[in-house]
Every structure is written in C-alpha cells, then in structure tokens.
Amino acid sequence: MKLLAVETSTEACSAALFIDGDIKERFELTPKEHTKLILPMIDSLMTEAGLKPQQLDALAFSRGPGSFTGVRIATGVIQGIALGADLPVVPVSTLAAIAQDFFDHNDENVAFVAMDARMGEIFWGVYRREAQGYAELVGEEVVTPAEQVEFPELAGVGIGSGWSVYPQELMNRLAGRVSRYKADMLPKAGAIARLGARGFEQGLAVVVEQAMPVYLRDKVAKKESER
C-alpha cells in the first residue's frame, strides 16, 4: 500500500508518504508559507522513495475543519495530483488527525479535541482509541462556543489549540472529566496518512470529484460583525 498525504489546515504545513506501514514525513511550522512549501515537500518525499504519482495506490488529505485558505490548499493540491494520476482520494478529518497523533504517542484512550476557530468559537470533536489503535469519533464534529461544548460520559485529555485560547471555559464545562490538556498539538500529515490508509482499507476512498473540504461553519469567510 502506497499513499501520499498532505495537511495544511493550520499554521503547520506537512506532507507524508505511507509505504506498507512505514511513514516518512516533512513538517514545518510556517504560517502563510503553505503554497510555497507543500509541493517541494511532496517532490522530496516522492524522489526519496523513487516513486511517481502513478505508482501510488491512493491519496489522502486533511479535509478540515481548519483555516479556510489552508483547507482549500490541501484540497486543491490533492485534486490536482488525483486528476493527473487517476487516483482515488481519502478525505480525513483534521480533528481525527490531531487525536490520532496524540494516541500514537500517549497512553490515554479518550481525547477532547478543540481547535481555535476564531470568531469566539472552536472546532470540537471527541475521539476515543478503538481496538486497533485508530481514532474513532464519538458523536459529531461541530463548531461551537467553548462554554457550550457537548460531550459523552467519558473522561480523557484535552488536546488542540482551542485549549490554549479557552482553557478555563473548557475546564469548567468538562469539570472532572479532563485530567490534563495539551494545547500545542497540531495536525500532521503522518496521522493523515495513517488514517488515510485505514480508510482506504475500509473502502472510504472517493473519486476526485467527491474529495471536498469540510468547513463546519456555513459563513466561514465572514467576519463576526457580518454573522
């Protein structure tokens, strides 16, 4: 199984190549430089592996939620490669990628993922580690004020940038359910690749025309005063 993944939905930019379970990744924290970096990252990975796009089995990308511009960059890059090489695409949740990266490096089994969505809101999703180690969504992903998040009867760890912006609101709302939080977790293409390969095995790949972003917020491009 050979799969290329990209992630550009936050201030971080990354690409990863999954080859039969082994993952190689390029990652840089460079706000507003994604369009300059993502294609060289992809070229570097493919050259190092001695592969051409036509030799891949599938592609994966971070479908959002996240930065409106960032999500569109990842979508556009993957759509272009998919069209040129006639490859199927696996859209992967940005929040799921954050949870997967956490589960791959920590022992806890439940993650309350919060990404800063600006305009006084967060992107929110609760994930648990399923039997084979993959992040599994519990409930739905939503955009919401931090003090109004909904959650299942579970206890776990808070992760994601939303915890740095609204720590008190989230801790108050989740009183007794969160033992600690890790706010510096950003989505990475390595986790997108891992979840993408899993999704491909499960038959979740789509044709390029159906590889669309998910913003969660209907008026994503409008300022707060316009909402």
What are the tens digits of pLDDT across the range 59-114? 999 999 999 999 999 999 999 999 999 999 999 999 999 999 999 999 999 999 99
Q: Which residue has the tokens 């051409």?
A: 52
Residue 69's region, left for phi above 0, alpha for psi from -120 to 50, else beta, is alpha
Q: Are 192 and 97 a contacting pair, CB within 8 Å?
A: yes
List C-alpha distances in Å: 173 to 36, 123, 225.
40, 15, 26
Q: Does domain 2-94+187-226 have CATH number 3.30.420.40?
A: yes
Biggest alpha carbon distance in the chain?
51
Region of 12 please: left (phi>0), alpha (psi -120 to 50) or beta. Answer: beta
pLDDT digits (tens, 9 = 90+) for 31-40: 889 999 999 9
- Mean predicted confidence (pLDDT) in 191-215: 97
For position 223, what pLDDT does the model report? 39
Residue with tokens 């272009």: 80
Q: How far apart are CA 39 and CA 218, in angstroms?
A: 29
From-to residues of CATH 3.30.420.40 in the chain: 2-94+187-226, 95-182
Q: pLDDT exceeding 90 applies to what percent of the chain? A: 93
Cα–Cα distance measured from residue 101 to residue 195, given in angstroms and rounded to the nearest whole number: 10
| Global pTM value | 0.94
Residue 18 has pLDDT above 70, yes or no: yes
User: Do 42 and 6 form a contact (C-beta atoms < 8 A)?
Assistant: yes
Tell me the pLDDT band of 218, cut-offs 50, 70 and 90.
low
Alpha-carbon Rg for the chain, nearest whole angstrom, is 17
Of the candidate CATH numbers 3.30.420.40, 3.30.1280.10, 3.40.50.300, 1.10.10.10, the domain formed by 95-182 belongs to 3.30.420.40
**Exposed e or buried b for every residue in 119-130, given b needs 16+ CB within 10 A?**
eebbbbbbbbbe
Tokens found for residue 202: 């499960």
pLDDT band per the 50, 70, 90 thresholds, residue 217: confident
